[in-house]
Structure 1
């Protein structure tokens, strides 16, 4: 299969490297020139829970270079989704499928606005923590599940084919029949750790082991779960605190992407993570004070960052 990964930060690079190592023709597309140059020169090294390998693949800063692809994976951060979706027309043929994998809420809707709903799949990567060590070198902690579903909800032959591609590349991949529920279940876990890890500098396992930090993280997760319940999402766990604690302890050494952004002096995706909980809560007549405070503090810290 010919695959383009648009947005090859830590997670996108992990996807691109493992899919290429499995024998697919993969193009890495990113605006980070040093990273693209390193991939073209030395290959893309991916190490971590999946092992250690160097994949040889093509890389470019332009979506105009690869030509039509069978699968286009949008792996940018949430604030880059709209621009990415608007840029991918040269990659799309009549049978091309677009898979979006982001944290938080709202990314699929922004892609639909740009290209329509017909070809969109939605993915959630659970139990991964990833970082870029140097240009051309990605590291990932955790190796759990990639869940992929049709935006429209049906289980289609093309969905099963895409899931098989991921499985054959070594990813623990599953078909998701309910995309909306899948997004919220990951979202609840994300907000339990993203804000508090960012503000404290603790890793995920350290948060669960620290009573004061965990009180805040658990409060954030509980508020998101209460909103999901009010929206009748149908999440599959009744105790959000226990569920999210277990999730964090499974990747205890990981740091959420929001925390990694702050360590790099970059603004984060707070508005689609902790900052999204109060927005959704107001729609159903609820408040989310833990998430309100956490997101306000994250935004305040970001006033000192240039980007």
Structure 2
């Protein structure tokens, strides 16, 4: 099975590197700068699950893709999706499976429109990882889970084949027969975490210390109600995990969008908070905090565009 991993950042670098180390046929689709960096230094992962160094990981630039791959793993930022799918489109053939690891669901619609729904799986990554300035992939926690499955549920031969490949690698690869449920449950939590940590400009632990954890729980409840309105009410176990995450005393966790704001970068506000709000706008009369959190992020993007002279996230792609 031939895997094309789009990018070698935190997600692609980690899961793709683990697959390559396990002997799978993996090629990284890279931009020129990252390709030059990996050619010089190799791909390095630092992780509680074991460090890894791959001196010469196979890579390709978009214009050099000559034939379809069996599986394309996509872990880009949402605002880069249009550019990214144009880059890997030559790798998608009649039997190719596209496995995206983005949060939310809007990307599923866009990938399905471009390549056909039958070529797209659902997927999510549960991992805290970042790309260091020197290009090293830093795995920051214990979780390193990749969950995937057919959008319509159940199992299939292609899901079983991917699961077999993942089982050889040093991460937790899980085939799900209800991947949309899992994606909605993660989306509700990620939106709440992003909303509260960007509103407060603080970590979960700082918010708890300030006595404001109820705001985080109220925001999570709004997001969970929207999931339920769409037919994917989070399970009691998912609610319990989410509440524990958002109220953990001393937790250093912040959402990646909070880190984006700190470094003056674009955010996934539209993909994570905006799209969730659109899917639930009429589901309840007490969705109050989510619109405020979304407006906060859009205000940041407007200020960033004005002060830095850059388009808001997604505007380059929409132009």
Q: TM-score, normalised by structure 2?
A: 0.85
How far is the alpha carbon of 1:135 from its aligned partner? 4.5
Aligned residues: 303
Structure 2 counterparts to residues 57-72 of structure 1, below 5 A: 57-62=57-62, 64-65=64-65, 67-72=67-72
Shift of 1:10: 1.8
CA contact 1:79–1:269 (8 Å) conserved in 2: yes
Query: What secondary structure is seen at the aligned counterpart in 1 of 2:137?
Result: strand
Match for residue 124 of structure 1? 124
**Corresponding residue of 2:187:** 187
Unpaired segments of 5 or more residues in structure 1? none
| d(CA) in 2 for partners of 1:25, 1:250 | 43
Deviation at 1:208, TM superposition (A): 4.8
CA RMSD in angstroms, aligned pairs only: 2.5
Cα displacement (A) at 1:210: 4.3
Contact 1:46 1:139 in 2 (8 A): yes
Displacement after TM superposition at 1:199 (Å)? 3.8
Q: 1:23 to 1:202 in 2, by over 3 A?
A: farther
- Which whole-Å CA distance do the structure 2 matches of 1:218 and 1:161 have between them? 39
CA contact (8 A) 1:99 1:121 kept: yes
Structure 1 residue 141: Cα displacement:
2.0
Residue equivalent to 2:307: none
Q: Secondary structure at the match of 1:104?
A: coil
Given candidates 243, 258, 261, the residue that maps to 2:241 is 243
How far did residue 297 of structure 1 move?
Answer: 1.1
Q: Which residue of 2 aligns with 1:266?
A: 265
Tell me what 2:255 maps to.
256
What residue in structure 1 maps to residue 314 of structure 2? none
- Structure number, greater radius of gyration: 2
How big is the shift at 1:39? 1.1
1:112-261 matches, within 5 Å, as 112-126=112-126, 128-142=127-141, 143-212=143-212, 214-237=213-236, 240=239, 242-247=240-245, 249=248, 252-261=251-260
CA distance in 2, matches of 1:8, 1:163: 21
SS across alignment from 1:303: helix
CA contact (8 A) 2:204 2:249 kept: no
Q: Partners in 1 of 2:249 and 2:183 — Cα distance? A: 19
**Pairwise CA distance, 1:200:** 3.4
Q: Distance in 1 between matches of 2:207 and 2:60?
A: 38
Partners of 2:108 and 2:134 in 1: how far apart?
28
- Which residues of 2 match residues 289-304 of structure 1 at below 5 A? 289-304=288-303
Could you tell me whether the CA contact under 8 Å between 1:130 and 1:140 is conserved in 2?
Answer: yes
Q: Please report how far the alpha carbon of residue 29 of structure 1 lies from its aligned counterpart in structure 2 after TM superposition.
A: 1.9
| Partner SS, residue 235 of structure 2 | coil
Task: Give the secondary structure class of the aligned counterpart of 2:132.
Answer: strand
Quick one: distance in 1 between partners of 2:26 and 2:63?
13
Q: 1:254 to 1:7 in 2, by over 3 A?
A: farther
2-side partners of 1:44 and 1:239: how far apart?
34
